[in-house]
Amino acid sequence: MQDNDIRKILEDVKTIALVGASDNPGRPSYGVMAYLLSQGYKVIPVSPKLAGQELLGQKAVGSLAEIAEPVDMVDVFRNAEAAYGVAQEAIAIKAKVLWLQLGVINEQAAVLAKDGGLKVVMDRCPKIEIPRLGMEK
């Protein structure tokens, strides 16, 4: 994916479901969620363990299906094997983008999501891409 494509995605996205959210400040998902919130995105933490609790001031849900509003992007902090199932869920909720984090590489999930009409970003992190592209607020 080209820089212009990534820039357009990050400009268009407003609501992000962060799958694999953690309440541990030492985990990458926690830091990325805090960063995305600081950049003005609405972030919905998705974690069965945290469902119903608040994380960084946002109410966590147990699954993508529990989100009662449109989601622009699904940001995946799960292992590569879990990405296929998350891609299926992202299609089911009509997300626009499936973003697989650094190290999360699953070509079958990417093909499934693309065939389902989603844009796919794989093996990248928005916390790195936003400043790299000069988009920080």
Instruction: Read off the CATH number of the domain in which 75 is found.
Output: 3.40.50.720
Q: How many domains does the chain have?
A: 1
* pTM of this structure: 0.97
**Tokens 């983008």 — which residue?**
97
Phi, psi of 65 (to 5 degrees): -60, -20
Structural domain span for residue 23: 3-133
The one-digit pLDDT tens for each residue of the chain (137 residues) are 899 999 999 999 999 999 999 999 999 999 999 999 999 999 999 999 999 999 999 999 999 999 999 999 999 999 999 999 999 999 999 999 999 999 999 999 999 999 999 999 999 999 999 999 999 99
Beta strand pairing call for 54-55 and 119-121: unpaired
Assigned token pair, 107: 């070509």
